[in-house]
Structure 1
Amino acid sequence: MATVMLGMSDDEFWRSTPRKLYAMIQVHKQANGLEEEEDKVVPIDQVEGG
């Protein structure tokens, strides 16, 4: 997935940390309008039921 969707080479993928891969996937999702409601960051004062 990362090599195709994120344009990474195999070497770049295998040298990446899980943190870096997660961050890159999040940016990809935001850039392509794919983030789900639970993925969106909401300011604390807008959280319901708290």
Structure 2
Amino acid sequence: MEHTHVQHTEHRDDHADKMGMWLFLFTELLLFGGLFLVYSIYRYMNQEAFMA
């Protein structure tokens, strides 16, 4: 029985990893930035609703 040894090299795509992380951070910034902006505008326009 003959065994052949095949060498596997690990393929890493660090550029795609970094781009994916930046894309994720950018989308989170847009989402939460928009939410805070809408909250701030709503609070400014309806101050009586936020009085304790």
TM-score w.r.t. length of structure 1: 0.34
* Structure with more helix by fraction: 2
Relative contact order higher in (CA < 8 Å, ≥ 6 apart): 1
Q: What is the TM-score normalised by the length of structure 2?
A: 0.33
